[in-house]
Amino acid sequence: MYRKIIIFIVFVLVGFAMIAGMLHLFIFLQEQIGNGEVTLIKSIKENLWPITYAVWIFLALGLLVALPAMMKDGFFGGEPATVSTVSNNKIERMPAQALPPLEHQIKSSALIILARTQANQDRVWYYIIDILKSGSSPNQISKDSVVNINTKMWELLGYKPIAGQEVVFFFTEDGLINLSPLETLTVQDGKIIYGKDDPTTKQELTIEELQKKVLL
């Protein structure tokens, strides 16, 4: 933590020094090309240090405003604060980490389904095995129906549709409009793994255990 603070202070000091240096260099170059007697250049030269101080004060005030947020977010190595999220008109608290807890994703979802991937060379679609959490769906998703789900974003993150594979999809109300899932969790050996790359949120559970969490 102290190492980061020292590095940050040095960074700020160097930055402030460069501002003064650049102003002096600007005046010097203007004089070299014959603009030394131009009213604007003369005015800047005569008030060089007051201008420098004004810029320093402006930047310092901005830094003072930003410091509380930087410290709260763990910029200097401390523990990140919790952040608030709004879901269904209620403010919820969750850890300020890269991946929200599974419970938060469940609460944020209007629809959670278990589907089986069906695919050929040209297209991929999904057969709905079960609905784990129901909500109003503009696309009329129901059990035993077949739907096209927009998984392009998840494919960029490593998800690969495989024929016969079961997948759990989480949808927010907005995501239901174009069937873009909030979460895409593949079922392997009867279990899903949420947050497999984040030890602070990682959970491995069966579909039945996920259903119990949905019902809480």
Q: What confidence tens digit (pLDDT) does each residue in 154-171 have?
A: 999 899 999 999 999 999
Whether the CB-CB separation of 105 and 181 falls below 8 Å is answered with no
Query: Which residue is it, tokens 């927009």?
Result: 150
In degrees rounded to 5, what are phi and psi of residue 155? -65, -35
pLDDT reading at 73 higher than 80: no
pLDDT band at 203 (very low <50, low <70, confident <90, very high): very high
pTM exceeds 0.75:
no
Rounded CA-CA distance 133/107 in Å is: 10
Query: Which residue is it, tokens 């190595």?
Result: 77
pLDDT, residue 96, reads 47
Rounded CA-CA distance 107/122 in Å is: 35
Q: What confidence tens digit (pLDDT) does each residue in 88-109 have?
A: 444 445 444 568 999 999 999 9
Domains and CATH numbers, the chain: 2-72 (no CATH), 102-215 (2.40.50)
Rounded CA-CA distance 39/215 in Å is: 75
Coil, helix or strand at residue 103: helix
Q: Which residues, in sequence order, are CB contacts of 10 under 8 Å at separation 6+?
A: none
